[in-house]
Chain A
Amino acid sequence: MSSPVLSLRGVSKSFGAVRALAHVDLDVRTHEVVAVVGDNGSGKSTLAGVLSGALVPDAGQVELDGRPVTLASPGLARALGIAAVFQDGALCENLDVVENLFLGQEVTAGPLLDEVAMEKEAWSLLNKLAARVPSVRVPVGALTGGQRQAVAIARTLLGDPRVVVLDEPTAALGITQTAEVLNLVERLRDDGHAVVLISSSIVDVQAVADSIVVLRLGRTNGVFDADQVSYEDLIAAMTGATPVGRRTRPARREENVT
């Protein structure tokens, strides 16, 4: 197994008296989809925040290629090659696809925008993801939820990041659109990105993930090989029902630290 691109080591994060993450470890490798699942309040969104640079952990380390880094802001994380897609995609519905893709990093020719270059690049990004949109000149508001996620994901690819973090990309989508987005996730992996898929849907996660990390009440409650773990095992790990076999790492190993 290759060495991880991005690792979390004993990361903790509290909001006031609430401990959202406690001693969480995570390894992400290129050509690999690591899924993070958990029930509501398990700390998934906090983890997404830490990975994307939106939140700075109170304790523990974020390592990039084995070297500790501080992801102080989403911009810094992007610069280090970690891009995040948020649940709502963070798109402007009144802008068209090209405008959204290049928002904040427009290509200019002199004082004016270079629309031709941007439109060409937009098609090549969307084609790379095999994403289908009717036109790159329609406002994003007129697209389906799946197409919007495709645009949001394509946008992360602009800086050619090594790690792509997807926070609940399928939460608001129907069955067909979910399948489309999962195809995009696989394509990201096949293109050599390291992918973190944060989700509350076990079905989605089992469809595309290589390994599955279960969070429960802010702690890692098991790391599973996606090919071997069953739906029931995952449910058990997520809800805290009787732990069952095939666990590759003991859970709650630092139960008494707090």
Chain B
Amino acid sequence: MTGSTHPRTGAPGPVGGLSGLRSLLTQRMRSGQLGTLPIVGALIVIWLVFQLLNPHFLSSDNLVNLTLQSAATGVIALGIVLVLLVGQIDLSVGSVSGLAAAVVAIGSVQLGWPTLLAVVVALGVGAVVGVLYGALTTRLGLPSFVLTLAGLLVFAGLQLRVLGPTGSVNLPFRSTLVRLSQQGFLAPAASSAIVAAVVLGYAAMLMVERARRRRAELPVASPVDLGVRIGALALVLGSSVAYLNTNRGVGVTFALFVSLVAVVDLLLRRTRWGRAVRAVGGNVESARRAGIPVRRTFVSVFVACSTLAALGGVLSVGRLAAANQATGGGDANLTAIAAAVIGGTSLFGGRGSAWSALLGVLVIQSISSGLTLLNLDTAVRYVITGLVLALAIAIDTLMRRAREV
């Protein structure tokens, strides 16, 4: 073993400095573990290009709109990240979100349910769909690709039936859901306090972890490294929130989306369930031999995905103040799936992060918003988003090949 090793445990010591970072990068590139780095780079490039073409692009007003547009699709993409992680796919998230939207609208407007009840019922519909998919894939071994394609049609049909002959239901603007989605912003003081709490919490977590590792005689990160990580989080989070606060602020729905991403990220990295999800996606047979409850893992993931899709539908009802036959139709489905892949979650299972839902949806919405500012139509948007998706898949496939050589 070269380099510094820990005297007692034999664990290699930390590598610090710029040369360490560079060697880490090359090693990651060779072993195909780039993670979210390419997508962060791509996002910066996209923003710079659109800013050069239209100086309004990075204005706080446009960025606030961008965040509001991202929430619903992003929540759906988060569910897609989970199914991709176990090596499955759910092509029906669009129509499930549409069905949930219809349920919320009909329930709260025509049946007079309280908003909360309507939302809970809609999420319940999503969960039932997930249980159904999970049972059919694990018990009968149906491939999720075709099963969810069938589901897409079935739930699109149910959506039309629930909406009834008018095919469209408008929500009153005084509805809690609409007010929360359209005008719900965190107060500047509240969002700043949340940022401070998150940064302090993160710092405390790192310090506690470091102390525990030191006590366990494991290699610990250098104080500089810790400082850089905490500083980077404070900088990114603090400056984005401060910038959004110069306009309307941080939308409640976007804050909900980002917190969901953070929670799912924690579940994936730090719980037995998350480890089971990644193990099943990596190698089902190995996971089964290791005693992982494979079926239960699959079912839980399908339930999470469909429920998140339903939540996405609920958020879109709030944002548009209406549910109609087009909700969750058209490109909504594919945009959510594309966002997960563009964000860096592998189509081949086992590799990816909850954050790829956030990054992917920001890329797609940035392209969409930028092209709209340039007065380019949907045709161009489709083509460019498609090309970015193709690029993302190419990177995913090349990385996979790099790992196998």
Interface, chain A (partner B; CB < 8 A): 74-75, 86, 89-95, 99, 103-106, 108, 111-113, 115-117, 119-120, 123-124, 126-127, 132, 134-136, 138-139, 141-142
Contact = CB atoms under 8 A, between A and B. Distances in A.
Contact of B278 (A91, A94, A104): A94
A93 B287 CA distance: 11
Contacts, number: 96
B9 A90 contact: no
Contact of A90 (B1, B10, B217, B290): B290
**Smallest CB-CB A-B distances: 9 pairs:** A104-B291, A92-B282, A94-B282, A94-B350, A104-B290, A103-B290, A90-B286, A142-B31, A120-B216
B11 A90 contact: no
A74 B289 contact: yes
Contacts of B285: 90
A95 B272 contact: no
Contact of A111 (B10, B218, B271, B350): B271
B292 interface: yes
Given A94-B281, A103-B290, 16 more contacts: A86-B289, A90-B283, A91-B283, A92-B287, A94-B351, A99-B278, A103-B287, A103-B292, A105-B291, A106-B275, A113-B272, A119-B11, A119-B218, A123-B10, A127-B9, A138-B31
A103 B275 contact: yes
6 contacts: A94-B282, A95-B279, A99-B275, A111-B271, A112-B271, A120-B216
A113 B213 contact: no
B9 A123 contact: yes
Given A120-B216, A141-B403, A106 B272 contact: yes
B377 interface: no
A134 B1 CA distance: 7
Contacts of A103: 275, 279, 286-287, 290-292
A132 B10 CA distance: 10
Interface string B272-302: 1001001101110111011110000000000
A136 B11 contact: yes
A95 B278 contact: yes
Contact of A92 (B10, B11, B283): B283
B272 A92 contact: no
Contact of B31 (A86, A95, A141): A141
Most B CB within 10 A of own CB, among A91, A94, A116, A139: A94
A66 to B, nearest CB: 28
Nearest to B269: A113
B12 interface: yes
B88 to A, nearest CB: 15
Contacts of B9: 120, 123-124, 127
Contacts of A142: 31, 33, 403
B270 interface: yes
A113 B217 contact: no
B212 interface: yes
Contacts of A75: 291
Most B CB within 10 A of own CB, among A93, A104, A105: A104
A54 to B, nearest CB: 9
B289 A116 contact: no
B77 to A, nearest CB: 21
A74 B290 CA distance: 9
Contact of A91 (B31, B218, B286): B286
Given A92-B286, A93-B282, A135-B12, A108 B272 contact: yes
Contacts of B278: 92, 94-95, 99
Contacts of A124: 9
A139 B291 CA distance: 20
Contacts of B272: 106, 108, 113
Contacts of A138: 31
Contacts of A105: 291
Given A92-B278, A94-B350, A142-B31, A116 B283 contact: no
A90 B288 CA distance: 9
A132 B1 CA distance: 8
B225 interface: no
B331 interface: no
